Amino acid sequence: MKFSFLMYSDRSGSNLLKNMIDNHENICAPYTKQIINPIARNLFRYQNLNDQKNWNTLLEDVTNLYNANLSSWKTEIDFKKLKSISTKGEVGELIKSIYIEEAKLNNKNHVFIKESPMYEFTLFLTENFIDSKFIYLVRDPRDMALSWKKSPSHIGGVIEGAKRWKKDQLGFLRDYSILHHKARALKVYYEELTKTPRNEMKKVCDFLGERFDENMFEYHKNESNKQHASKFEMWKNTGQEIMRDNSKKYLEELTKEEIKCIETICYPEMCSLKYTPEFDQEDLFSGKELKNREIAENELQNNYNPNELSEINELKKRIYKRI
Protein backbone atom coordinates (compact mmCIF):
# COMPACT_ATOMS: atom_id res chain seq x y z
CA MET A 1 0.00 0.00 0.00
CA LYS A 2 1.39 3.40 -1.00
CA PHE A 3 0.82 6.54 1.08
CA SER A 4 0.84 10.20 0.05
CA PHE A 5 -0.04 13.38 1.95
CA LEU A 6 -1.46 16.83 1.22
CA MET A 7 0.13 19.96 2.71
CA TYR A 8 -2.38 22.83 2.55
CA SER A 9 -3.97 25.85 4.20
CA ASP A 10 -7.70 26.18 4.79
CA ARG A 11 -9.66 27.86 1.98
CA SER A 12 -7.01 26.91 -0.58
CA GLY A 13 -8.77 24.28 -2.68
CA SER A 14 -7.69 21.23 -0.70
CA ASN A 15 -11.03 19.47 -1.06
CA LEU A 16 -11.04 20.09 -4.82
CA LEU A 17 -7.68 18.37 -5.20
CA LYS A 18 -8.58 15.64 -2.71
CA ASN A 19 -11.85 14.89 -4.48
CA MET A 20 -10.23 14.64 -7.89
CA ILE A 21 -7.56 12.31 -6.52
CA ASP A 22 -10.16 10.21 -4.70
CA ASN A 23 -11.95 9.67 -8.02
CA HIS A 24 -8.79 8.08 -9.42
CA GLU A 25 -9.21 4.36 -10.01
CA ASN A 26 -6.36 3.41 -7.66
CA ILE A 27 -6.19 6.18 -5.02
CA CYS A 28 -8.31 6.38 -1.88
CA ALA A 29 -8.48 9.96 -0.56
CA PRO A 30 -11.09 10.01 2.21
CA TYR A 31 -12.37 13.19 3.82
CA THR A 32 -10.27 14.16 6.81
CA LYS A 33 -10.98 12.85 10.27
CA GLN A 34 -8.08 14.72 11.94
CA ILE A 35 -6.76 11.65 13.72
CA ILE A 36 -3.03 11.85 13.09
CA ASN A 37 -2.52 15.46 14.16
CA PRO A 38 -3.73 15.30 17.79
CA ILE A 39 -2.23 11.86 18.37
CA ALA A 40 1.18 12.61 16.82
CA ARG A 41 1.53 15.94 18.66
CA ASN A 42 0.60 14.40 22.01
CA LEU A 43 2.34 11.04 21.93
CA PHE A 44 4.56 12.03 24.86
CA ARG A 45 1.47 12.35 27.08
CA TYR A 46 0.76 8.62 26.80
CA GLN A 47 4.26 7.85 28.14
CA ASN A 48 5.22 4.17 27.71
CA LEU A 49 2.95 2.76 25.01
CA ASN A 50 4.24 -0.77 25.64
CA ASP A 51 2.25 -0.55 28.86
CA GLN A 52 -1.17 -2.08 28.12
CA LYS A 53 -3.09 0.53 30.10
CA ASN A 54 -1.46 3.43 28.23
CA TRP A 55 -1.94 1.66 24.89
CA ASN A 56 -5.62 1.08 25.66
CA THR A 57 -6.03 4.77 26.49
CA LEU A 58 -4.56 5.73 23.11
CA LEU A 59 -6.83 3.24 21.33
CA GLU A 60 -9.85 4.75 23.08
CA ASP A 61 -8.83 8.24 22.01
CA VAL A 62 -8.32 7.17 18.39
CA THR A 63 -11.72 5.45 18.44
CA ASN A 64 -13.40 8.62 19.69
CA LEU A 65 -11.59 10.81 17.17
CA TYR A 66 -12.51 8.49 14.33
CA ASN A 67 -16.18 8.43 15.26
CA ALA A 68 -16.56 12.19 15.72
CA ASN A 69 -19.05 12.96 12.94
CA LEU A 70 -16.86 15.20 10.77
CA SER A 71 -16.79 12.88 7.77
CA SER A 72 -18.12 9.49 6.74
CA TRP A 73 -16.00 6.50 5.75
CA LYS A 74 -16.94 2.95 4.82
CA THR A 75 -14.80 1.48 7.60
CA GLU A 76 -16.47 0.92 10.98
CA ILE A 77 -14.07 1.41 13.87
CA ASP A 78 -14.42 0.59 17.56
CA PHE A 79 -11.96 -0.21 20.35
CA LYS A 80 -12.08 -3.94 19.68
CA LYS A 81 -11.45 -3.42 15.96
CA LEU A 82 -8.43 -1.19 16.60
CA LYS A 83 -6.97 -3.65 19.05
CA SER A 84 -7.28 -6.45 16.49
CA ILE A 85 -5.54 -4.58 13.64
CA SER A 86 -2.65 -3.11 15.61
CA THR A 87 0.38 -4.11 17.65
CA LYS A 88 0.86 -2.67 21.14
CA GLY A 89 3.19 0.33 21.07
CA GLU A 90 3.26 0.67 17.26
CA VAL A 91 1.39 3.94 16.63
CA GLY A 92 2.51 4.28 13.02
CA GLU A 93 1.25 0.79 12.26
CA LEU A 94 -2.05 1.64 13.96
CA ILE A 95 -2.62 4.72 11.79
CA LYS A 96 -1.62 2.85 8.65
CA SER A 97 -4.00 0.00 9.46
CA ILE A 98 -6.98 2.36 9.70
CA TYR A 99 -6.31 3.85 6.27
CA ILE A 100 -5.51 0.47 4.74
CA GLU A 101 -8.89 -0.84 5.90
CA GLU A 102 -10.63 2.06 4.14
CA ALA A 103 -8.57 1.67 0.97
CA LYS A 104 -9.36 -2.05 0.78
CA LEU A 105 -13.10 -1.37 1.09
CA ASN A 106 -12.74 0.98 -1.87
CA ASN A 107 -10.66 -1.57 -3.83
CA LYS A 108 -7.66 0.76 -4.04
CA ASN A 109 -3.94 0.39 -3.35
CA HIS A 110 -2.82 3.96 -2.71
CA VAL A 111 -3.91 6.21 0.18
CA PHE A 112 -3.87 10.02 -0.04
CA ILE A 113 -4.21 11.69 3.37
CA LYS A 114 -5.42 15.23 4.08
CA GLU A 115 -4.89 16.62 7.60
CA SER A 116 -3.85 20.03 8.87
CA PRO A 117 -1.62 21.70 9.74
CA MET A 118 0.75 18.99 8.55
CA TYR A 119 3.95 20.87 9.43
CA GLU A 120 3.14 20.21 13.09
CA PHE A 121 3.71 16.47 12.65
CA THR A 122 5.85 16.07 9.52
CA LEU A 123 8.55 14.21 11.45
CA PHE A 124 6.01 11.63 12.59
CA LEU A 125 4.96 11.09 8.96
CA THR A 126 8.45 10.83 7.50
CA GLU A 127 9.50 8.40 10.24
CA ASN A 128 6.44 6.15 9.98
CA PHE A 129 5.63 6.42 6.26
CA ILE A 130 9.13 5.93 4.89
CA ASP A 131 8.46 6.04 1.14
CA SER A 132 5.52 8.47 1.23
CA LYS A 133 5.24 11.53 -1.00
CA PHE A 134 3.81 14.99 -0.35
CA ILE A 135 1.77 17.42 -2.45
CA TYR A 136 2.14 21.05 -1.37
CA LEU A 137 -0.94 23.00 -2.47
CA VAL A 138 -0.70 26.78 -2.31
CA ARG A 139 -3.14 29.58 -3.15
CA ASP A 140 -2.78 33.35 -3.50
CA PRO A 141 -3.15 34.71 0.08
CA ARG A 142 -5.45 37.50 -1.09
CA ASP A 143 -7.98 35.03 -2.49
CA MET A 144 -7.47 32.71 0.47
CA ALA A 145 -8.13 35.57 2.92
CA LEU A 146 -11.22 36.61 0.94
CA SER A 147 -12.56 33.06 1.14
CA TRP A 148 -11.71 32.96 4.88
CA LYS A 149 -13.63 36.20 5.41
CA LYS A 150 -16.71 34.80 3.66
CA SER A 151 -16.62 31.41 5.38
CA PRO A 152 -19.16 30.80 8.18
CA SER A 153 -16.75 28.35 9.80
CA HIS A 154 -13.79 30.71 10.32
CA ILE A 155 -13.51 33.46 12.89
CA GLY A 156 -12.20 36.85 11.78
CA GLY A 157 -11.69 38.67 8.52
CA VAL A 158 -8.91 39.05 5.98
CA ILE A 159 -6.24 39.86 8.57
CA GLU A 160 -6.93 36.66 10.50
CA GLY A 161 -6.91 34.71 7.23
CA ALA A 162 -3.65 36.31 6.12
CA LYS A 163 -2.00 35.54 9.46
CA ARG A 164 -2.99 31.89 9.13
CA TRP A 165 -1.72 31.76 5.53
CA LYS A 166 1.64 33.22 6.56
CA LYS A 167 2.04 30.84 9.50
CA ASP A 168 1.18 27.87 7.30
CA GLN A 169 3.54 28.80 4.48
CA LEU A 170 6.44 29.30 6.89
CA GLY A 171 5.90 25.74 8.10
CA PHE A 172 5.22 24.25 4.68
CA LEU A 173 8.09 25.99 2.88
CA ARG A 174 10.52 24.71 5.51
CA ASP A 175 9.32 21.12 5.10
CA TYR A 176 8.87 21.37 1.34
CA SER A 177 12.46 22.48 0.78
CA ILE A 178 13.73 19.37 2.58
CA LEU A 179 11.27 16.94 1.00
CA HIS A 180 11.62 18.40 -2.50
CA HIS A 181 15.39 18.00 -2.31
CA LYS A 182 14.77 14.28 -1.74
CA ALA A 183 12.24 14.13 -4.63
CA ARG A 184 9.42 13.53 -2.15
CA ALA A 185 7.39 16.72 -2.61
CA LEU A 186 5.59 18.46 -5.48
CA LYS A 187 4.26 22.03 -5.37
CA VAL A 188 0.86 22.68 -6.96
CA TYR A 189 -0.65 26.13 -7.39
CA TYR A 190 -4.41 26.41 -6.98
CA GLU A 191 -4.51 28.96 -9.78
CA GLU A 192 -2.92 26.54 -12.24
CA LEU A 193 -5.01 23.64 -10.97
CA THR A 194 -8.23 25.47 -11.79
CA LYS A 195 -6.96 27.07 -15.01
CA THR A 196 -5.33 24.00 -16.60
CA PRO A 197 -6.54 21.05 -14.50
CA ARG A 198 -5.55 18.40 -17.02
CA ASN A 199 -1.91 19.53 -17.13
CA GLU A 200 -1.67 19.83 -13.35
CA MET A 201 -3.29 16.47 -12.64
CA LYS A 202 -0.98 14.77 -15.13
CA LYS A 203 1.93 16.17 -13.12
CA VAL A 204 0.33 14.99 -9.87
CA CYS A 205 -0.31 11.48 -11.18
CA ASP A 206 3.20 11.20 -12.60
CA PHE A 207 4.70 12.35 -9.31
CA LEU A 208 2.59 9.89 -7.30
CA GLY A 209 3.53 7.05 -9.64
CA GLU A 210 0.01 6.53 -10.96
CA ARG A 211 -1.36 6.57 -14.49
CA PHE A 212 -3.50 9.53 -15.53
CA ASP A 213 -7.22 8.82 -15.07
CA GLU A 214 -9.86 10.92 -16.89
CA ASN A 215 -12.40 9.91 -14.27
CA MET A 216 -10.77 12.30 -11.79
CA PHE A 217 -12.65 15.18 -13.41
CA GLU A 218 -16.00 13.49 -12.71
CA TYR A 219 -15.54 13.91 -8.94
CA HIS A 220 -18.62 16.18 -8.67
CA LYS A 221 -20.84 13.25 -9.71
CA ASN A 222 -19.56 11.13 -6.82
CA GLU A 223 -22.39 10.51 -4.32
CA SER A 224 -20.06 10.79 -1.32
CA ASN A 225 -18.88 14.23 -2.46
CA LYS A 226 -22.48 15.35 -3.00
CA GLN A 227 -23.36 14.30 0.54
CA HIS A 228 -20.39 16.12 2.05
CA ALA A 229 -21.11 19.23 -0.03
CA SER A 230 -24.61 19.41 1.44
CA LYS A 231 -23.46 18.73 5.00
CA PHE A 232 -21.86 22.10 5.79
CA GLU A 233 -21.87 25.54 4.17
CA MET A 234 -18.06 25.53 4.12
CA TRP A 235 -18.08 22.48 1.81
CA LYS A 236 -20.75 23.63 -0.65
CA ASN A 237 -18.27 24.14 -3.51
CA THR A 238 -16.89 20.61 -3.23
CA GLY A 239 -19.91 19.24 -5.08
CA GLN A 240 -19.46 21.56 -8.04
CA GLU A 241 -17.37 21.31 -11.18
CA ILE A 242 -13.99 23.08 -11.27
CA MET A 243 -14.44 26.84 -10.86
CA ARG A 244 -12.07 28.06 -13.55
CA ASP A 245 -12.72 31.75 -12.80
CA ASN A 246 -12.02 31.49 -9.07
CA SER A 247 -8.74 33.43 -9.00
CA LYS A 248 -8.01 37.13 -8.48
CA LYS A 249 -11.51 37.63 -7.12
CA TYR A 250 -9.93 39.78 -4.43
CA LEU A 251 -9.55 42.58 -6.99
CA GLU A 252 -13.33 42.95 -7.13
CA GLU A 253 -14.41 41.84 -3.66
CA LEU A 254 -11.79 43.34 -1.33
CA THR A 255 -11.03 47.00 -0.67
CA LYS A 256 -7.59 48.41 -1.39
CA GLU A 257 -7.05 48.68 2.35
CA GLU A 258 -7.87 45.01 2.87
CA ILE A 259 -5.49 43.98 0.10
CA LYS A 260 -2.77 46.16 1.60
CA CYS A 261 -3.33 44.52 5.01
CA ILE A 262 -2.87 41.06 3.51
CA GLU A 263 0.25 42.06 1.61
CA THR A 264 1.71 43.74 4.70
CA ILE A 265 1.42 40.43 6.55
CA CYS A 266 2.36 38.05 3.72
CA TYR A 267 4.80 40.05 1.58
CA PRO A 268 8.00 37.92 1.97
CA GLU A 269 6.21 34.59 1.51
CA MET A 270 4.16 35.95 -1.41
CA CYS A 271 7.31 36.96 -3.23
CA SER A 272 8.98 33.63 -2.47
CA LEU A 273 6.00 31.84 -4.00
CA LYS A 274 5.98 34.16 -7.06
CA TYR A 275 2.75 36.03 -6.27
CA THR A 276 2.98 39.63 -7.51
CA PRO A 277 2.00 42.24 -4.88
CA GLU A 278 -0.35 45.07 -5.77
CA PHE A 279 1.62 47.47 -3.57
CA ASP A 280 5.30 48.36 -3.32
CA GLN A 281 6.89 47.26 -0.07
CA GLU A 282 7.52 50.85 1.07
CA ASP A 283 3.79 51.61 0.73
CA LEU A 284 2.62 48.85 3.07
CA PHE A 285 1.18 49.54 6.51
CA SER A 286 3.36 50.07 9.55
CA GLY A 287 3.02 47.66 12.46
CA LYS A 288 0.94 50.18 14.38
CA GLU A 289 -1.38 50.87 11.44
CA LEU A 290 -1.92 47.16 10.88
CA LYS A 291 -2.67 46.59 14.56
CA ASN A 292 -5.29 49.34 14.56
CA ARG A 293 -6.94 47.84 11.51
CA GLU A 294 -6.91 44.41 13.12
CA ILE A 295 -8.68 45.80 16.19
CA ALA A 296 -11.28 47.46 13.97
CA GLU A 297 -11.75 44.24 11.97
CA ASN A 298 -12.29 42.19 15.13
CA GLU A 299 -15.07 44.53 16.21
CA LEU A 300 -17.04 43.90 13.04
CA GLN A 301 -19.42 41.00 12.56
CA ASN A 302 -18.54 38.68 9.69
CA ASN A 303 -20.28 35.57 8.39
CA TYR A 304 -19.05 33.36 11.23
CA ASN A 305 -21.71 30.90 12.35
CA PRO A 306 -20.80 29.19 15.65
CA ASN A 307 -23.41 26.52 14.97
CA GLU A 308 -21.80 25.39 11.70
CA LEU A 309 -19.50 22.89 13.41
CA SER A 310 -20.45 23.36 17.06
CA GLU A 311 -21.39 19.76 17.87
CA ILE A 312 -18.27 18.32 16.25
CA ASN A 313 -15.99 20.99 17.73
CA GLU A 314 -17.33 20.45 21.24
CA LEU A 315 -16.78 16.72 20.94
CA LYS A 316 -13.24 17.20 19.67
CA LYS A 317 -12.51 19.72 22.44
CA ARG A 318 -13.48 17.12 25.03
CA ILE A 319 -11.26 14.52 23.37
CA TYR A 320 -8.32 16.93 23.05
CA LYS A 321 -8.72 18.00 26.68
CA ARG A 322 -8.59 14.38 27.80
CA ILE A 323 -5.48 13.79 25.69
- Which is it for the CA torsion 192, 165, 309, 96, positive or negative? positive
Q: Residue 135: beta bridge partners?
A: 6, 186
- In this predicted structure, what is the pLDDT of residue 312? 60
pLDDT digits (tens, 9 = 90+) for 79-114: 999 999 999 999 999 999 999 999 999 999 999 999
> What is the rounded CA–CA span in Å between residue 97 and residue 197?
32
pLDDT digits (tens, 9 = 90+) for 178-212: 999 999 999 999 999 999 999 999 999 999 999 99
pLDDT digits (tens, 9 = 90+) for 305-318: 655 555 566 766 77
CA separation, residue 66 to residues 36, 224, 254, 272 (Å): 10, 18, 38, 37
* Mean predicted confidence (pLDDT) in 120-125: 97
